[in-house]
Amino acid sequence: MFRVIRATLLVALLSVPACDRSPRRSGFIVVRADRTISGRSAYPLALDPSRVGTYPSDMKSGAGYFYDEVLEYRVWFNPEKGAASLNGKNDYCVAFAQYEQAQAFSQTTRGAEEPLVLVLQREWIGEPEHGHFIPEKGVRITEWQVQWLPGSNRRATSIKEFLEHPKEAGP
């Protein structure tokens, strides 16, 4: 049964348009993907390591309060801030299946930012205006700060509990 669910999810992900993208492409690219996993991890591993580096790079950041799956960790580079020019003057990233590899890479590579995490959301909390929360459903991909992951993995009752006792911290 798990294989059927996972296969269905992967088919859905393949057909997802680049959610939350601006109409114009930014020129951002993924220049490399590290799909290796070794040892234990402080954070969830990528759902499907073979897909790491294949997700759209033009994602908006944040929002939703909950995530369903981790897709990859990203380390972003900006040539104007000292990174090598691997994409002209445009930003680029390197994608990882495991947080620890992304963190080590970001600490040892010139011009690297702290890792971000690309998450899949099937249900989340929309906040069209401050303090106004709306439960949302669909398939959405967004970048988060890694520190938002703990305690944010959606359970069956997470949305209901959140709406009963809203909080204003987190993504």
DSSP of 30-76: EEEEE----S--SSPPPS-GGGTT-S-S---B--BS-BSEEEEEEEE
For residue 160, what are the domain limits? Answer: 2-164
pLDDT at residue number 75? 96
Q: Has residue 47 been placed in a domain?
A: yes
Strand, coil or helix: what is 140? strand
Q: Has residue 10 been placed in a domain?
A: yes
Q: Has residue 22 been placed in a domain?
A: yes
Q: Has residue 99 been placed in a domain?
A: yes
pLDDT at residue number 46? 98
Residues 6 or more apart whose Cβ sits within 8 Å of residue 32? 53, 94, 95
Q: Has residue 114 been placed in a domain?
A: yes
Q: Has residue 11 been placed in a domain?
A: yes
Question: Considering its fold, how many domains does the chain have in total?
Answer: 1
pLDDT at residue number 171? 52
Q: Has residue 169 been placed in a domain?
A: no
pLDDT tens string for the chain (171 positions)? Answer: 333 333 333 333 333 333 333 334 578 888 899 999 999 999 999 999 999 999 998 888 888 999 999 999 999 998 888 888 888 878 899 999 999 999 999 999 989 999 999 999 999 999 999 999 999 999 999 999 999 999 999 999 999 999 998 875 455
